[in-house]
Chain A
Amino acid sequence: MALHRGNGLATIEYPTGMNQNGDPSQAWIKVKPDGRVDVFSGTSDIGNGSKTVQSQIVAETIGVPYDWITYDNSNTDSSPMCTGTFASRATFVAGNAVLKAARQVRERILAIAARELEIDPADLEVADGAVSVKGTPAKSMGVDEVAGAATFVHGELLTGDGAHLNPGAAIVDPESGEVDKPPHAAISYAACAATVEVDDETGDVRVLELTQVYDIGRAMNPTLVEGQIEGGAVMGLGFGVLETCYPYYPSVEHRGDGMNTYHVPTMSGLPEINNVLMENPSSGGPYGAKGIGEMANNGQPAAIANAIYDAVGVWISEFPITPERVLAALDAKREGGGEPRREGRVVAFDEELSISAATSAKSWGP
């Protein structure tokens, strides 16, 4: 048996927000008489952390402590419309909605405080749950006092609402694919390197290391974005070498019907995962955020495939890269095959997989 090591890389890009846009999010906020803040948003938290990140945006924007925020995304009666948690849109699009609502609340707080302190609101600022006069921090009142005054002295509700809709829905020219406006909220970029070990007798691939660099826009909560990237790395590992719903695709036979016949990645023998998070603030996201949750499993499969080529000199272009595919390719190579067709300046790989090889109904090829 021989184990062969190889390295490979891939670079990727991915849009934030629904393709072609047109996906609104809305939020509203009210302040209790003691200054505590209730946020109502319709954004589901699927583990990505939207409850946390949106609460952070609100606390930061209003200028109150994080633990003053109550975040309610529990139902559609109290929460306004949000298109949902998908397309890496929750932080960017829904985050912008709560940001706008929080700004309104902040303005209302300043307006009430200005009346209480008898000073121009423009000369006031809010931080750490207190409104103070710029340059004269001693002259201040707590946001709790402001909220109390609003409620019991001025007869007002401190509230705000916000909605975000990226400029219109992009219209596509059916001939050229040209769009009339950006079809995304932002774009993020990343690269991934993989180190693998290939058993040349069985085709078994072990991924030893994944190193990844992500343009994250801005880390709203570094720990949470790390969690997205680490989770994505292992899901990409699964896509790369383990998982398929149809092991004999296109056949539908012999599907894995449970956790012990469908190959889900596990904790044992995890590759070493190292990440570099690169801040490159977006122009339109809340505090420069981008959405990177979805792209996080896009780079590993190709990086692994390229590392396998580096290790043993075979290309795998059908996924996942199972031991059988690697071994079949190694066997073909040992028998002198597996090479692309080379003809003049044309190098044609994988022709046996092509649509032209399967049917004459669609002609295609170099």
Chain B
Amino acid sequence: MELNVNSVARTVQSPPLTSLLTVLREELDITSPKAGCESGGCGACTVLVDGQPRRSCLTAVCTLDGADVVTVEGLGTPEDLSRVQQAFIHHYAAQCGFCSDGMVVAATAYVNGGGTDDTDAIGEALAGHFCRCTGYVKILEAVAAAARGDECDVGSTASSANNTYVSIAGGES
């Protein structure tokens, strides 16, 4: 069967019930979708299938013949980062980075779908994507920034509005 992966036509040989995640990682050597749980529970394997976010671990590859699959590699490159990727860097939305591949894909789908910068709406939309490092605060800020269309400098990072600094002697530092 055929898949169009990141705009490249690929022929797939894996047995039909093989998950898209396994096909991408093990047959096509596209390693950005992560096998965080292989049960649909964590969101680290999310890719776009015909533009919609999909858990690749839950999707039998045989159901996708001819489909258009985009992984995070297909959203932008280090030289040409997408707006969401820039926002993730500028807002420090990736720490260990293991959830980031699926998170960036899902955030891209949210922004492309006309999602707003409303924190509750973002939280609902990405609720199935777990991150154990960030506490989500900066992910929410990154997605909101991307939804607004903010220009995000990838050479620096932003302070969250929720953080203030003082010195032991008192006063703002």
**Could you tell me if B138 and A264 are in contact, using CB atoms closer than 8 angstroms?**
no
| B17 located at the interface, meaning its Cβ lies under 8 Å from any Cβ of chain A in the complex | no
User: Contact string, A65-77, partner B, CB cutoff 8 A, digits 1/0?
Assistant: 0000000000000
Task: Give 5 nearest A-B pairs by CB, closest first.
Answer: A47-B96, A259-B41, A234-B135, A47-B95, A268-B127
Q: How far is the CB of B142 from chain A (nearest CB, A)?
A: 12
- Contact A267-B136, Cβ < 8 Å, known A46-B96, A226-B160, A278-B166: yes
Which of the candidate stretches B4-12, B75-83, B118-126, B145-153 sits at the interface with the other chain?
Answer: B118-126
Query: Which residue of the partner chain, among B98, B130, B165, contacts A264 with CB atoms under 8 Å?
Result: B130
A208 to B143, CA, bound (A): 22
User: Contact string, B10-37, partner A, CB cutoff 8 A, digits 1/0?
Assistant: 0000000000000000000000000001
| A276 located at the interface, meaning its Cβ lies under 8 Å from any Cβ of chain B in the complex | yes
- Contact A47-B97, Cβ < 8 Å, known A231-B132, A235-B132: yes
User: Contact string, A204-238, partner B, CB cutoff 8 A, digits 1/0?
Assistant: 00000000000100010111101100111111000
- Contact A270-B173, Cβ < 8 Å, known A223-B157, A258-B37, A278-B167: no
Binding site for A on B (CB under 8 A): 37, 39, 41-42, 92, 95-98, 119-120, 122-124, 126-140, 157-160, 162-168, 173
Binding site for B on A (CB under 8 A): 45-49, 215, 219, 221-224, 226-227, 230-235, 258-260, 264, 266-270, 272-280
The interface residues of chain B lying within 8 Å CB-to-CB of A46 are 96
User: Could you pull out 30 A-B pairs where Cβ atoms are within 8 angstroms?
Assistant: A47-B133, A48-B95, A49-B95, A222-B159, A226-B138, A226-B160, A227-B135, A230-B138, A231-B95, A235-B132, A258-B41, A259-B39, A260-B39, A264-B132, A266-B127, A266-B130, A267-B126, A267-B136, A269-B123, A270-B137, A270-B140, A273-B137, A275-B164, A276-B163, A276-B166, A277-B163, A277-B164, A277-B166, A278-B166, A278-B167
- Contact A259-B42, Cβ < 8 Å, known A47-B96, A278-B167: yes
**With contacts A215-B168, A259-B37, A266-B127 known, what are 13 further pairs, Cβ within 8 A?**
A47-B95, A221-B157, A223-B158, A227-B138, A231-B135, A258-B41, A259-B130, A260-B39, A264-B132, A267-B131, A275-B164, A277-B166, A280-B167
By beta carbon, the residue of chain A nearest B41 is: A259
A163 to B26, CA, bound (A): 42
The interface residues of chain A lying within 8 Å CB-to-CB of B129 are 267
* Secondary structure type dominating chain A contacts: mixed
A266 to B124, CA, bound (A): 10
Query: Which residue of the partner chain, among A49, A269, A275, A279, contacts B163 with CB atoms under 8 Å?
Result: A275
Q: How far is the CB of A91 from chain B (nearest CB, A)?
A: 14
**Could you tell me if A267 and B139 are in contact, using CB atoms closer than 8 angstroms?**
yes
